[in-house]
Structures are given as C-alpha cells and as structure tokens.
C-alpha cells in the first residue's frame, strides 16, 4: 500500500508540473498565434520569460502599437514621445517577417506627440512588407496628414481604417485592387478625395465615411462601387441656406445603407436593387430650424431612391422630426 501511495503522489507531482508549464509546452506556431492577439508592447514583454520566448514575438504577423500603453509611469512629455517612437523603431528593425498581416497604430494621447515624418515612415514600412490590414488612429491635433503615395495603390491591402477626422491628399492614380473594407474619418475633404478615393476600389464591400464638411462647397461624394454590400455615411457641416454637397450612391448589390447628416445635402441613389435595410436620419438641424420645399424635395428623393427597390424582406427606419 505504501508503494502505491508513493507512486500516486509522484504522479500528482508530475501532473502539477506539466499543468504549470502547459503554455510553454505548446509548439512555436501556436504560441505565435496567441501572441498575435496581444498589443505588441505586451507581446515583446514575453521575451523576458525564458530563452525560448526571447524571439517568438518577432514572428508575430500582427503589429499593434498604442501610445497609451506603458510599462512605466510617464515622467515627461518629451520622454513619453521619445520612448514610444524608439520602441516602434526597434520592433520594426528586429521583426523577422517580410509580410505583415495587420498593422495597427494609435498615436492619440493627451501627453504624447508623434511626429508626422515618423508616422509616414512606419506606414511606408508596413506597405513595403505587404500589409493586408492597416488601422491608424491619429492624434486629434494632427489635421493635415501626409500619407505615402504608394498607400493608394497598395496591391496587398484588404482593409484600411483611417480615424479621428483627419485631412489628407489623394493622388489621381488611386487603385485598391484588393481592398474590401474602407473606413475613413475625415475633416473638410476636397473633391480629389471624395471623387477618387471611394470609386476606385473594384472589390470594395464595406465602406464607412464620417467626418466634417463645408456645406457651401461644391463637394461630390462619388460612391459608385459594383461590389459594395454595406455603406454607412455620417456627416456634420456648417449649416448654410444653399447646400452644394452632392452624394451619389450607385451600388447594385448594396444590402445595408445608413445615411446620417445634420444639414441635408443632395442625395442621388441609383441601382439599389438588393437593399435589405436602410437607416436614414438626415437634416436634423436644418429641418428643425428652417424647413423649406427644397429640404422636402431632397427627403422625397431619398425615399424614392430607397423605396423603389424595396422587397418583402426590407426594413426601413426613417427618423425625421
């Protein structure tokens, strides 16, 4: 009985050891996959666990940099900015993969400033490594952004998110041959951006546009995309009596449509043959203060564009006051 008892005790000890080291016993490919779900700051931090973990982070296909994540308290504005920029530079220098699946960058912080040239360099590096998903959240105080020109013809890009109401220039030679998701938050765009960016994505499926515009400018949003299935628009403007903005949506397989604004631009909705759900909340400010026949005509034009293609499975929510 004694020998059996000792044997059972030994077995339990082995089980405890194995259980305690269960994660480290996993193959490298699985550990790298797990690390890909962590912000890069924490993935790199695992390098101190053991010699085996030292270089695993360098094979993670996802890089996620957030200026708000810190291991140490912030000592000064300059130190915080410098530490973050140096950290990103070092990671990109020692990262092993020639291809990056996802590159996320958040530079929005109340006590850190990241120079535009540094951001430009990091985005260029991601593009050169064949990035598939690019998600950039800029500092709110950074309005005019100089983006690399080759971003707008990147053949590997599948998803692009540019957030926090920025302004950037768009070249005439825009062509996203693989882009399926485009989410942009813009501040006072020009016609080059609104006419060339959104209609030169031949396989685009999901488009979200939000931001601020000048209502008295002759601004044309051209959303003529044959592959689009979801479109969300949310615009704010300085209200004027004569709105010159025009928004054209031509999407024959569009299923989900959301239109939100506070100033009621001119909408032209065409070929919405596959529409399933439409959410419309337009002209909130101008209709409450000074509703005119022109406003009514524009609302009716939206309804005609939607209802003309409504079938038995469609739900429409119109929020008007």
292/298: higher pLDDT:
298
pLDDT digits (tens, 9 = 90+) for 76-112: 655 678 888 999 999 999 999 999 999 999 988 766 7
The pLDDT value recorded for residue 10 is 45
pLDDT digits (tens, 9 = 90+) for 256-291: 999 999 888 999 999 998 999 999 998 877 666 666
The pLDDT value recorded for residue 3 is 46
In the chain, what are the domain boundaries? 170-321
CA distance 197 to 220: 12
- In this prediction, residues 50-57 reach a mean pLDDT of 88
31/71: higher pLDDT:
31
The pLDDT value recorded for residue 246 is 92
The pLDDT value recorded for residue 309 is 52
314/51: higher pLDDT:
51
The pLDDT value recorded for residue 120 is 93
Pair of tokens at residue 302: 């939206």
Cβ neighbors of 252 (< 8 A, separation 6 or more) are 226, 271, 272, 273, 274
206/29: higher pLDDT:
206
From 93-97, 177-181, 235-239, the region with the lowest mean pLDDT: 235-239
The pLDDT value recorded for residue 196 is 86
* Helices 116-128, 77-94: crossing angle, 10 deg rounding: 20
pLDDT digits (tens, 9 = 90+) for 13-45: 444 444 556 777 888 889 989 999 999 999 999
Decide if pLDDT at 135 tops 60.
yes
């Amino acid at each position: 009985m004694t020998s059996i008892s000792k044997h059972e005790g030994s077995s339990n000890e082995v089980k405890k050891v194995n259980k305690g080291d269960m994660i480290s016993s996993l193959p490298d490919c699985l550990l790298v996959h797990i690390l890909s779900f962590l912000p890069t700051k924490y993935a790199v931090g695992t390098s101190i666990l053991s010699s085996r973990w030292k270089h695993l982070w360098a094979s993670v296909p996802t890089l996620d940099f957030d200026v708000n994540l810190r291991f140490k308290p912030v000592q000064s504005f300059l130190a915080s900015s410098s530490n973050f920029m140096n950290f990103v530079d070092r990671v990109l220098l020692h990262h092993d993969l020639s291809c990056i699946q996802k590159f996320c960058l958040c530079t929005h912080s109340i006590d850190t400033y990241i120079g535009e040239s540094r951001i430009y360099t990091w985005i260029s590096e991601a593009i050169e490594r064949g990035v598939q998903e690019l998600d950039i959240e800029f500092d709110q105080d950074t309005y005019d952004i100089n983006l690399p020109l080759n971003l707008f013809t990147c053949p590997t890009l599948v998803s692009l998110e540019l957030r926090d109401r920025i302004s950037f220039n768009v070249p005439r030679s825009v062509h996203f041959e693989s882009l399926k998701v485009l989410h942009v938050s813009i501040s006072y765009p020009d016609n080059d951006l609104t006419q060339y960016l959104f209609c030169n994505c031949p396989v685009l499926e999901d488009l979200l546009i939000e931001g601020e515009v000048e209502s008295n400018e002759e601004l044309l949003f051209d959303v003529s995309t044959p592959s689009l299935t979801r479109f969300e628009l949310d615009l704010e403007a300085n209200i004027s009596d004569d709105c010159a903005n025009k928004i054209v949506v031509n999407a024959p397989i569009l299923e989900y449509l959301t239109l939100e604004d506070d100033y009621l631009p001119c909408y032209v909705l065409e070929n919405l043959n596959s529409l399933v759900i439409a959410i419309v909340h337009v002209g909130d400010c101008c209709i409450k203060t000074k509703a005119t026949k022109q406003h009514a005509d524009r609302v009716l034009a939206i309804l005609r564009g939607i209802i003309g293609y409504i079938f038995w499975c469609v739900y429409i929510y119109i929020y008007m006051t």
